[in-house]
Structure 1
Amino acid sequence: MRRADTQRFGIGALFDVHADLGRTTAFHLSRPFDIAPLNGTRYDVPGIAALVVEAAGWLAAAGAGPGDRIAIVKDNHWDCVLLASASARLGAVPVMISSTLAPEHLRELLVRAGPSVTVTTSGVLTRCESAGVDLTKSSDATVCLDAKLPGTVPLDDVLGADGPPPFRSRRPDEPMIVTHTSGTTGVPKLVVHSADTILGTLGRIESIRWPMVATRRGDTVASAISFVHGRSIPWTVGTLLLEPRKAVVIADDDPAVAGRVLAAHRPTTCEALPSTFTRWERLTRTRHNVFSDVRLYISTFDAMHPPTIRRFLAATRRRQPLWLQGWGQSEAGPLAFRMLTRRALARTGDRHPTTRQVGRPLPGFTRLRVVDPETMRPVPPGERGVVLARTRGRCLTYLGEEARWQEKARAGWWNTGDIGVKSRTGTISLLDREVDAVPGASCIELEDVLTDRIPQIEEVVVLGTPGADLLPVVCTQDGGALSPALWRKAVEDLPAFADPVHVTWDEIPRTGTGKVRRGELRARYLDGAAAYGTGRWT
């Protein structure tokens, strides 16, 4: 197959094409794939392509075919992408859903998706069953990867069926894959992408040999992201096209696992969820530092605190390491980026931290503007407003929520729902999600200031409600409470705060991408008190 076939066949032929091109990247996994638990943790590209063909065969044996939807609801691992490729190979549309969602949210998304086949695990099914949710009723067949449970098709019963050749008839502008948003404010939206948007635009961005940041042939690239979210497809495309020496896939954020895997395969580039980087900070302080050879760190999905970035940049022996901070959305892909250096983060405790400025739009791909949320007219540089984006990578719709999508997609512009400021030179500084915004301040900026000034803080979430002081929810590295005197000194020049609420890391509700579910914290500690924002564009 030729490289051009990925546009004609979509992700259904992705691995076949690169196997035929002779790609030599060696893939190393932190644990075996859930779809092939006995096959070990090392693969070459032809081996992955063969596994996709095999999975397409057993999906067809389970009853899936052209025009169907196949739901993928399993533990985080890169085989979610392989299952998506296998589904597309049949002419079906894969719907990738995080297994970390609440059972009632999983049920609702499966109702919207209407899959003919659902691929899942016994852990997901039993967790939902204990909450009174029977996921097996949401599709014609439920394939359970690791057990024989009532109402399911055990994987052993469909293994060995012949895999079909890639399906040919889908146009590149038709729905090819469905992922979903993080779901910080409730039930996630199902995001529909085509081959044109997620391969032709987002995958192309990933595979350009950008100066300093593009993957090189000699690299060992490590990735610890949510492989069920849209970011996983461009990452896969870029890795296959740019052909690093090694690709290391880390399926969970456990520091012990990461330490073991990265010690065996020391990365030169490392991408992880922001919350994962936070959990991995302890690895930067060990005698056998696994980040010593990293030249480039990459973070997307959420805001990063300055101390975390500073510690990782200090951990590498490279003379001039870089931190690529990307800002984007599931619906539109990457929108802006900024390179951070040790020098840029040298000052600590600043009232307006460097990391809130996310850079400029991607040249040739994205345009950004800031508008008044009431009139939708552009505001002057330096004034806050809601950020709109124009990009060819914008999704086609929200599955089952077309009106909600139309509310955010107006005249070619996409309403990000983020409040920001555009400078005279075109850089964007993010303040908050509109639903979380506080007049005259920025909650995420205050969170950065607090983590910078109080090293004991591992995570802090600032919540605002009309008529009350800001409420900080604080998690310390040792799980204890902060000294009142230390707290007072840190906030003396900041807006008025209530006394901090102290929680543990595990008590902070998060999405599958590690983002904090601020709405749940608001309900828990503010009795569901109203926010300043409307939530209109969430």
Structure 2
Amino acid sequence: MATLSVAAILAENARRRPDKTALVEGELRLTFAEVWSRARAQAGALADLGVRPGDRVALMAPNTAAFPIAYYAIAAAGGVVVPVHLLLSASEVEHVLRDSDATLLLVHPAQAETGRAAADALGIQVVTLGEEFERLAAAADPLPAYVTRAADDPAVIFYTSGTTGVPKGAVLSHFNLVMNATVNAFDANDIRADDIALGALPLFHAFGQTVSLNSTWRAGATLVLLPRFDAARAIELMVEEGVNTFHGVPTMFVALAAAAAAAGTLPELRVCVSGGASLPVAVLERFEAAFGARIYEGYGLSETSPTATVNQPVFGTRAGTIGHPLWGIDVEIARAEAEGRIELLPPGELGEVVIRGHNVFSGYLGRPEATAESLVDGWFRTGDLGTKDDEGFLRIVDRKKDVIIRGGYNVYPREVEEVLMRHPGIAQVAVIGLPDELHGEEVCAVVVPARGTAPDAFGITEWSKEYLGRHKYPRRVEFADALPLGPSMKVLKRELRARYSGR
């Protein structure tokens, strides 16, 4: 049995470069030896709390030093990390805790109210990060080393909504995550041990976790955390700390390009990576002109650890594309209509993006049917439509599943529709994404009012805030007498998008 642990990423740095600065957050500066020492103390506390290898531990925290330390502590104790999205409502957090069968929730004081409400409803143990967890760690015997795990054992369960609208747990193994961090660090772009990266992407998200945290540390580089993204503050912090590496979603690049003019000094950036949503070429050009730095756009999903492709210097780069597959990964275009089989298409043809390689997840937790639908003939079906040209450059054209990507966060229309259909003034609703300069896409609900009611747009938005995470509720509400239907009685969302996007 081959053994491997994500915890090795930190443990090896503590062994190889103990005195190197690993983590910076505000005034706090920790070396690799110090981070590993704290993680082992917390792992001891987790063992005292009854966490056994294979147990699921939910982690709900912003980009403070508490997140990476607790993340590696869970891995060191042999537990499985269940990152919790910070914008979820208490009932949504409850679903994640219940579905993952989490035995413990580690929650940051800023999220304690929501996290505790969800955990209390299920009778799950809660420990607050900061003073409470530190006290337990100080009283525990630190683990001498990390617990051995099989390479294919689960390491992290990311919650991702499918078209069904109910978030599913994508199970990623230690092998998936260590390999993705390794090829991101050493094969995709030129990452060096003396690099300093800004951790502005949420670490609970696959992109921030693998690319900002794990890949940066896999290369032995320094991570500077920014708990709340603000473009002017990000520029200031990057200059102060000598940051040369930035990972972000398109909305961050939009904001940075806009803030650059007002900033006195700009950081000297060597590597910038964009992902999470399509980066408009105009944004790429504006940013590159302002900062004199190149953006490498990539693509991936929670189910693929996440990076599958990225623009890489070795293959040349091309604006408007997602580059080439990572080392050891195949990405092809398959016939989208072919059910239950993979039929690869020649270059230039539009089809579904399919992926195979060391980055593909084990499956959806407790959902064998959903797993069987997405893993076909050894390939993962992404549900995204794209093309591959003669030179191997991949391009994402549209999303087969109508997913809305708002500010880098996936919003699944079906999930929002399910909630809105409970509103007494709504007879029918279709949720679509409309182009938005700041967020890439904005959530729009097209509503057919219930007979005898006269709901107003503001009222619907306010009502929906109670039941939906902050990234999901509709900022825009339009009213219609009827929704356009196709021959199979499905709502024609492309017609709605065409109708409302010009307004």
TM-score by length of 1: 0.70
Query: What are the superposed Cα offsets for residues 297-329 of structure 1, whole Å, 9 maximum, x if unpaired?
Result: 111222112232222211235xxx321101111
Secondary structure of the residue that 1:46 maps to in structure 2? helix
Partner of residue 53, structure 1: 40
The answer to whether the 8 Å contact 2:89/2:469 transfers is no
Query: What are the superposed Cα offsets for residues 462-518 of structure 1, whole Å, 9 maximum, x if unpaired?
Result: x9xxxx9x98454579xxxxxxxxxxxxxxxxxxxxxxx99xxx9x99xx999x75x
Partner of residue 14, structure 1: 9
In structure 2, C-alpha distance between the alignment counterparts of 1:183 and 1:374, rounded to whole Å: 19
Partner of residue 119, structure 2: 135
In structure 2, C-alpha distance between the alignment counterparts of 1:171 and 1:93, rounded to whole Å: 13
Counterpart code for 2:380 = W
The answer to whether the 8 Å contact 1:12/1:88 transfers is yes
* Aligned: 1:170 with 2:174: no
Partner of residue 335, structure 1: 308
Partner of residue 206, structure 1: 184
Q: Map of 1:83-232 to 2, 5 A cutoff? A: 83-127=70-114, 133-138=117-122, 140-145=124-129, 156=135, 159-181=138-160, 186-199=165-178, 201-209=179-187, 213-231=189-207, 232=209
* Aligned: 1:324 with 2:300: no
Partner of residue 70, structure 1: 57
Q: What's the offset of the Cα at 1:25?
A: 3.7
Secondary structure of the residue that 2:387 maps to in structure 1? strand
Seen in structure 2, the aligned counterparts of structure 1 residues 166 and 181 have a Cα distance that, compared at 3 Å, is farther
Counterpart code for 2:401 = V
Counterpart code for 2:245 = T
Secondary structure of the residue that 2:381 maps to in structure 1? strand
Query: What are the superposed Cα offsets for residues 331-368 of structure 1, whole Å, 9 maximum, x if unpaired?
Result: 1132222269xx999xxxxxxxx42x222323432232
Q: What's the offset of the Cα at 1:418?
A: 0.1
Seen in structure 2, the aligned counterparts of structure 1 residues 25 and 184 have a Cα distance that, compared at 3 Å, is farther
Q: What's the offset of the Cα at 1:120?
A: 0.8
Q: What's the offset of the Cα at 1:106?
A: 1.0
Seen in structure 2, the aligned counterparts of structure 1 residues 164 and 100 have a Cα distance that, compared at 3 Å, is same
Secondary structure of the residue that 2:243 maps to in structure 1? coil
Partner of residue 497, structure 2: none
Secondary structure of the residue that 1:297 maps to in structure 2? strand
Partner of residue 284, structure 2: 309
Counterpart code for 1:112 = D
Query: What are the superposed Cα offsets for residues 235-292 of structure 1, whole Å, 9 maximum, x if unpaired?
Result: 4343234334x4322222123432332231132221123222233333311242333x
The answer to whether the 8 Å contact 1:381/1:422 transfers is yes
Q: Map of 1:73-472 to 2, 5 A cutoff? A: 73-77=60-64, 79-127=66-114, 133-138=117-122, 140-145=124-129, 156=135, 159-181=138-160, 186-199=165-178, 201-209=179-187, 213-231=189-207, 232-233=209-210, 235-244=212-221, 246-291=222-267, 293-317=268-292, 321-332=293-304, 333-338=306-311, 354-355=319-320, 357-375=321-339, 376-436=342-402, 472=434
Counterpart code for 2:392 = G
Query: What are the superposed Cα offsets for residues 362-408 of structure 1, whole Å, 9 maximum, x if unpaired?
Result: 34322322313245533444332211111221111112323212210
Secondary structure of the residue that 2:37 maps to in structure 1? helix
Counterpart code for 1:73 = M
Secondary structure of the residue that 1:259 maps to in structure 2? helix
In structure 2, C-alpha distance between the alignment counterparts of 1:23 and 1:361, rounded to whole Å: 33
RMSD: 3.9
In structure 1, C-alpha distance between the alignment counterparts of 2:433 and 2:35, rounded to whole Å: 49
In structure 2, C-alpha distance between the alignment counterparts of 1:430 and 1:531, rounded to whole Å: 24
The answer to whether the 8 Å contact 2:238/2:244 transfers is no
Seen in structure 2, the aligned counterparts of structure 1 residues 296 and 155 have a Cα distance that, compared at 3 Å, is closer
In structure 1, C-alpha distance between the alignment counterparts of 2:329 and 2:317, rounded to whole Å: 26
Give % identity: 21
In structure 2, runs of 5+ residues without a counterpart are 414-429, 440-456, 484-489, 495-503
Q: What's the offset of the Cα at 1:19?
A: 0.8
Query: What are the superposed Cα offsets for residues 444-470 of structure 1, whole Å, 9 maximum, x if unpaired?
Result: 9xx9xxxxxxxxxxxxx9x9xxxx9x9
In structure 2, C-alpha distance between the alignment counterparts of 1:167 and 1:44, rounded to whole Å: 18
In structure 2, C-alpha distance between the alignment counterparts of 1:394 and 1:304, rounded to whole Å: 24
In structure 1, runs of 5+ residues without a counterpart are 1-6, 32-39, 148-152, 346-353, 438-442, 448-460, 478-500
Counterpart code for 1:370 = A
Q: What's the offset of the Cα at 1:71?
A: 0.9
In structure 2, C-alpha distance between the alignment counterparts of 1:165 and 1:9, rounded to whole Å: 17
Query: What are the superposed Cα offsets for residues 403-424 of structure 1, whole Å, 9 maximum, x if unpaired?
Result: 2122100110100110112323
In structure 1, C-alpha distance between the alignment counterparts of 2:113 and 2:435, rounded to whole Å: 32
Counterpart code for 1:21 = R
Q: What's the offset of the Cα at 1:431?
A: 1.3
Q: What's the offset of the Cα at 1:526?
A: 6.5
Q: What's the offset of the Cα at 1:42?
A: 0.9
Q: Map of 1:23-62 to 2, 5 A cutoff? A: 23-31=18-26, 40-62=27-49
In structure 1, C-alpha distance between the alignment counterparts of 2:433 and 2:52, rounded to whole Å: 51
In structure 2, C-alpha distance between the alignment counterparts of 1:182 and 1:278, rounded to whole Å: 26
Seen in structure 2, the aligned counterparts of structure 1 residues 390 and 67 have a Cα distance that, compared at 3 Å, is closer
TM-score by length of 2: 0.75
Deviates more, 1:20-29 or 1:387-396: 20-29
Partner of residue 494, structure 1: none
Partner of residue 440, structure 1: none
Seen in structure 2, the aligned counterparts of structure 1 residues 251 and 316 have a Cα distance that, compared at 3 Å, is same
In structure 2, C-alpha distance between the alignment counterparts of 1:233 and 1:391, rounded to whole Å: 16
Counterpart code for 1:48 = V
Seen in structure 2, the aligned counterparts of structure 1 residues 254 and 521 have a Cα distance that, compared at 3 Å, is same
In structure 2, C-alpha distance between the alignment counterparts of 1:295 and 1:88, rounded to whole Å: 31
